[in-house]
Amino acid sequence: MNLLILGRGKTGSLVAEVAHGRRHNVRTLDVDENANACALTPAFLAPFDVAIDFTAPSAVITNAEACIRAGKNIVVGTTGWYEQLPGLREMVLSANTGFLYGSNFSIGVNLFFEIAATAGAALKYDYSGQIFERHHAQKKDAPSGTAITLQKIVRESGGQEVEIVSFREGDAVGMHEITFDSPNDRIYLCHDAKSRRGFAEGAVRAAEWLAGKTGFFEFRNVWREL
């Protein structure tokens, strides 16, 4: 496939490397080359099958809208923009294009989401819950998209909101912890990312899956199909 990678940060660069390794044709476009999606014209986007966005929360919507208007499918791994999901979903469905987003493209994290959904029921049995997340000091959004997804999953299974505590320090790739505490015991769940490669591999596989499809998808609902 012909893939356009938006963003040459740590994760975007690794996405490009993984895509090359999977024998795709890859073009990268950094944020400073694409202010307000100025480079994403229909003519520029014409050769690409799917775009993959790992830029910044402030750039996601304009990038996505440009791709949608050009009839191009897009995978979004950037987080911190989810308050605008309803409007973007409506645009995708009206344009009959394909859109796939995820707070985390790691297979391990998506398994962790399913474990959290089961454990969240503890809140119905006199347990209290809390989420902790740690990321590198340069991460722009807090709490992380992964932590927000965990919070939503636990709320749906346990019927209560749990607090998120965020830490931004050093070069931590991403650690997410959930605790459920009662007078009798404590449940502790943790996912600790060793590198960004799991995110990159999941994003490329997501683009392969999305090619030729229409609809609005969340990675945690479709990852088993990859």
Is it the case that residue 175 has pLDDT exceeding 90? yes
31 — pLDDT class (breaks 50, 70, 90) = confident
Domain spanning 107-192: CATH 3.40.50.720: no
Beta bridge partners of 167: 134
Distances (CA, A) of 129 to 4, 91, 99, 193: 40, 36, 33, 22
pLDDT at residue 138 in the model: 86
Is it the case that residue 159 has pLDDT exceeding 90? yes
Summarize pLDDT for 78-115 with one digit per residue, the tens: 998 999 999 999 999 999 999 999 999 999 999 999 99
pLDDT at residue 3 in the model: 98
Provide the percentage of residues in the chain whose pLDDT is more than 90: 94
DSSP class of residue 99 equals E
pLDDT at residue 141 in the model: 85
133 CB-contact burial (10 Å; exposed 0-12 / middle 13-18 / buried 19+): buried
**Residue of 175, 124, 184 whose CA lies nearest to 154:** 124
Which residues make up the CATH 3.40.50.720 domain(s) of the chain?
2-105+197-225
Q: What is the CA radius of gyration of the chain?
A: 18
Mean pLDDT, the chain, rounded, equals 96
Which residues make up the CATH 3.30.360.10 domain(s) of the chain?
107-192
Q: Which CATH superfamily is domain 2-105+197-225 in?
A: NAD(P)-binding Rossmann-like Domain (3.40.50.720)
Amino acid letter at 24?
A: H
Provide the percentage of residues in the chain whose pLDDT is more than 70: 100
Is it the case that residue 130 has pLDDT exceeding 90? yes
pTM over cut 0.75: yes
- Residues annotated as part of the active site: 135, 139
164 CB-contact burial (10 Å; exposed 0-12 / middle 13-18 / buried 19+): middle
pLDDT at residue 226 in the model: 86
